[in-house]
Amino acid sequence: MLEPRGILEDCLRSFNKQFSELPEEKWSFNVLTELLSMLFSLQMQPCMMDQYRRFVVITGKQDKIAPDRGGVSIFSNAPI
């Protein structure tokens, strides 16, 4: 089992492998898009369909994404 430091290093390697060629201003949108894609795939698994109904993604005011995307609720942490 990895220690917290090892998990962080693996996450950073994975991020750099997938997003290093993008300009920094596009990271947030592309990470959210990838996250939503993974959540949609996860929702299609029978055990997840039986046990869980919705996933929630919390975004910042700079993130431009629709508030509800097919079973994934997206809330902004930006003050109203």
Cα distances (Å, whole numbers) of residue 33 to 9, 39, 63, 80: 22, 10, 11, 24
The domain ranges of the chain are 46-80
In 3D, which of 16, 75, 72, 14 has the Cα closest to residue 44? 72
Q: What is the pLDDT of residue 67?
A: 54
Q: What is the pLDDT of residue 43?
A: 72
pTM greater than 0.85 (yes/no): no
Q: What is the pLDDT of residue 48?
A: 65
Q: What is the pLDDT of residue 80?
A: 45
* 50-59 pLDDT tens trace: 666 556 666 6
The confidence band for 19, taking pLDDT boundaries of 50, 70 and 90, is very high
